[in-house]
Structure formats: structure tokens, C-alpha cells
Amino acid sequence: MERTRVGVVVGKKLGGAVQRNRCKRRFRELARRSINRIPAGWDLVVLPKRECGDALPLRLKLAWQEGLARAGLFQPDDAS
């Protein structure tokens, strides 16, 4: 069975190790919560921007969903 995998790549330009790890954790959680609404068999690579560490959770969620929707991989659900 194919499954979708998500990887988060954060460069040193984003900040120190604490900030980089925070961004990775935040995007991994977004992926975990929405993985069942992404078609199986995709390998996604996420490259967060500097604003990731300070962004509000709702703003990150909307950016994540918008990016996936632009790629045709995600249908927003108003309930989540």
C-alpha cells in the first residue's frame, strides 16, 4: 500500500537550532493532522520560511492548506 510521506527541511538561515526544531515540529503536526485528506503515494518536502517560528498556529494551518490546495492535493474542510 502506498502512503504519503512528508519531510520538513529547515536551513540554518532560519535561525538557531531551537527555532529550526520548532518549525519542524509545527509542520510535522500539521501534516499529521491532515495526512488522511491528502491522496496516498505522494512524497512532500516542506521548506518553511523565517516567519514560521513566530507565526500564529491558524496562519500556519491556512498556509499549509493553501499550499496543498494549489498543488491539487488537498480539499479544505471547514470542520477542522
Q: How far apart are CA 67 and CA 38, in angstroms?
A: 12
The pTM (predicted TM-score) of the whole model is: 0.81
**Given this model, what pLDDT does residue 67 score?**
92
- How big is the CA angle at 16 (ends 67 and 56), to the nearest 5 degrees? 40
List residues bridging with 45 in a β-sheet.
Answer: 7
pLDDT tens-digit readout, 21-80 = 999 999 999 999 999 889 999 999 999 988 888 889 999 999 999 999 999 998 666 555
Domain ranges of the chain: 5-70
Write the CATH number of the domain with boundaries 5-70. Answer: 3.30.230.10
Nearest 5°: the CA angle 76, 8, 34 is 25
